[in-house]
Amino acid sequence: MTLHTTELKQGLAQLALDLTEPQLELLERYLALLVKWNQTYNLTAIRQEERMVSYHLLDSLSLVPHLAGGTRMLDVGSGGGMPGIPTAIARPDLQVALLDSNHKKTTFLRQVVLELGLPNVQVVTDRVEAYQPEQKFDRITSRAFSELSEFVKLTRHLVAEGGQYVAMKGVYPYEEIALLPQGVAVSEVLPVTVPGLDAERHLVRMVLQ
């Protein structure tokens, strides 16, 4: 067992996520691919594998307990696959679409899906405002994609009836919430503790009125 396997298991316990050994192995393999491809594709500014466990894997997985009731999730501006890939591994019953306009990043994401064999993940290379899926999404998330008002404006056409936004943010986004357009309601803002991460994290849940 590697050092970061131990850290990952401890972090999952703190997040109250009970994953199987095959799921843990998939997370490990995803991390290895992220490290390997990051050398040439610049997927993340974090280079140290041990820091990626908390900054990417556990941070992404902190979203999972807040997706109850969802069946289709869109990860907008997925980049290196966060939070979409870890979420898809933890929730194989959830259909996850990873959307990014950057061809290099979606090439990496397709390779991850292929190598890890993730049947519940779809990779889309497109601009969010131009994306027209056959079926809309009941959960839409992003991790540092844009400010909340811009995020909602660009994705309004992608939310299924009764769907929710679950945006991942750092410090409490008072100003961003104040600037939300009419017709968007914040149903809750939850502080999130990410194991091994000494930084503020919040989840902002929003609905269309």
Tens of pLDDT, residue by residue over 111-137, are 999 999 999 999 999 999 999 999 999
- Is position 112 annotated in a ligand binding site? no
129 appears as a binding residue in the annotation: yes
| Span 13-54, pLDDT tens digits | 999 999 999 999 999 999 999 988 887 877 776 766 677 888
Question: Is 143 annotated as contributing to ligand binding?
Answer: yes
> Is 159 labeled as ligand-binding?
no
2 pLDDT band, cuts 50/70/90, is low
Among residues of the chain, what percentage have pLDDT more than 90?
A: 84
Could you give the dihedral angle defined by the CA atoms of residues 115, 63, 54 and 82, in that order, rounded to the nearest 10 degrees? 40
Chain centre distance of CA 129: 19
Please tell me whether 81 is known to bind a ligand: no
Distances from the Cα of 10 to the Cαs of 4, 5, 110, 194, 199, in angstroms? 10, 9, 29, 11, 18
3-state secondary structure of 60: helix
**DSSP states along 70-101:** -SEEEEET-TTTTTHHHHHHH-TTSEEEEEES
The mean of the pLDDT values for the chain is 93
Q: Could you tell me the sign of the dihedral formed by the alpha carbons of 151, 131, 164, 168, in that order? A: negative
**Phi, psi dihedrals of residue 203, rounded to the nearest 5°:** -110, 130
Phi then psi dihedrals of residue 166, to 5 deg: -130, 90
pLDDT (tens digit per residue) in 76-109 = 999 999 999 999 999 999 999 999 999 999 999 9
- Burial of 133 (C-beta count, 10 Å sphere; 0-12/13-18/19+): middle
pTM over 0.85: yes
